[in-house]
Structure 1
Amino acid sequence: MGYIENLRRSIGHQPLLLPGAAVILENEGRGILLQKRRHPQNTWGLPGGLMELGESAEETAIREVREETGLTIDNLQLFGVYSGAMATAANGDCYYPIIIVYSTQSFHGQMRVDPEESADYSFLDVHECREQLTLLKNHRPIIDDWIKKH
């Protein structure tokens, strides 16, 4: 059981600050890697997740991408930090996300889908398909900012 799960056992649904990391994994000519998530069902977002105790934001990004996709990444560049309004998970947990976003074009390995978290992964040209995708609410501004810069 992870840090957040243990903390939730003590405090229930009370609001938490939840730091995490996400990665804009760029594949030249084919856009960015998006994850079709299992929860919330049929939503798309960037690979990433919550920070564990003792991890740096960069370590969180690298670990989450490896766990979720099977890919190893490096040469991370800070893209931005996103925070804001409180969110409520489907189970009633309240939280304020703090997402530290990195970008990279440097990756290797065999991509695989973790069926616990993902339905699919695909490099998508978000310039063309953004409006057709149901994006995670917290990831929409990140992807919009990436589109503006590219």
Structure 2
Amino acid sequence: SPLTDNDELDADQASSATALGLDDAVSAPLADTPTSGLVTVGDICWIESLRNFTRVALKGPPRLVLFRRRLSEWDKVLLDGPFARVGRSYLVQFVMMEQIEWKSREQTLVTFVEGAEPLTLGRLPATRLREILSGEA
């Protein structure tokens, strides 16, 4: 569906905006270029913090996009319902999760719909994920 001017927010507007809906698009600066990338919120499976950058996994053909944007900035604009923080470094969209494999105490593999890049979580983020899924969080 084509974007209207109201659907697209740049990083500065988004950081001061209220939560975005799944059909909204957000623009954020790409890591290696002076340009910005446009992402539809509903296409985001997970976001990983890499200090001042974030790695965003999108559904569809496996795509990982590196943005020059902190995780806390994403956290401010993404909805609490579909998205949740699991540990200090990850935001996950629950409706996109397909399977969770508790491989060991130290490693949990989360796979997502439409062939999106899987996410490997360590012990603490996996514990947080389990708490959220069981309703204890």
Q: TM-score of the superposition, structure 1-length normalised?
A: 0.28
Q: TM-score of the superposition, structure 2-length normalised?
A: 0.30
Which has the higher relative contact order, 1 or 2, with Cα contacts under 8 A spaced 6 or more apart? Answer: 1
